[in-house]
Structure 1
Amino acid sequence: MEQETLQAVMGLIMNAGNAKSEAVEAIQAAKKGEFTVAKEKLETANECLVQAHHAQTELLTKEAQGEEMQVTLLVVHSQDHLMTAITFVDLAKEFVEVYKRIDEK
């Protein structure tokens, strides 16, 4: 795998992983009633997802321009990581809202 491609794949994995971690921390903060912290964690998670999308877009752009992309387990793993992170962040937003409603009662 070309070094530039490897960097993009690793950036995708790293940023997606960070997004998921921030989402977990958002849920934990909301569970404690720390909704300001939860909101900040979700914002950071979204920023990490944006960075992951940039890495993904870099890979997609190269392929669209005709560069051959070797599909390896690492590339598949990076895409899996991103999709899992997106789902997890979406669910974390819902959990935070549920904890807010519970706290209001």
Structure 2
Amino acid sequence: MTIEEINNIACQIIAHAGDGKSYSMEAIENAETGDFKSAEENLKCSDESIQKAHEIHTDLLVQEAREPGCVTATMMLIHASNHLSTAELTRDLAERFVRVYKNVQK
């Protein structure tokens, strides 16, 4: 796999993870204003985006496991992995924030 191909794949991971993180942040904002229906919809969209990023990332891991050394760890790929981790953490925290806002507004 060429460096260009790896960096293109990394950009896909970054884009999907970024969307997931944005949806999570919107869910928190929705919950803060009491719009729990939108918050839940945004959490679902976040899940879908993060899942896409995760699938791409997992495909790279599987390729590396099958053929060690075929995936070069570029800075772009490292950056993409960081984005994915951050998006997953943000999603988990967003779900908790939505739950807390629901309890507070009861």
TM-score interval, smaller chain: over 0.9
TM-score normalised according to structure 2 size: 0.92
Kept after mapping to 1: 8 A contact 2:6/2:77: no
Give me the identity figure in percent.
36
* Counterpart Cα distance in 1 of 2:25 and 2:3: 33
Matched residue pairs, number? 104
The one-letter amino acid of 1:53's match is: H
In the other structure, the counterpart of 1:78 is: 80
* Counterpart Cα distance in 2 of 1:56 and 1:97: 29
Which ranges of structure 2 fall in alignment gaps of 5 or more residues? none
The one-letter amino acid of 1:38's match is: A
TM-superposed CA distance for 1:4, in Å, is 3.5
TM-superposed CA distance for 1:11, in Å, is 1.1
Which ranges of structure 1 fall in alignment gaps of 5 or more residues? none
TM-score normalised according to structure 1 size: 0.92
Q: CA RMSD in A?
A: 1.2
The 4+ residue runs of structure 1 with deviation greater than 3 A are 1-4
TM-superposed CA distance for 1:85, in Å, is 0.5
In the other structure, the counterpart of 1:40 is: 41
Deviations 1:31-55 (A, max 9, x none): 0000000000000000011101111
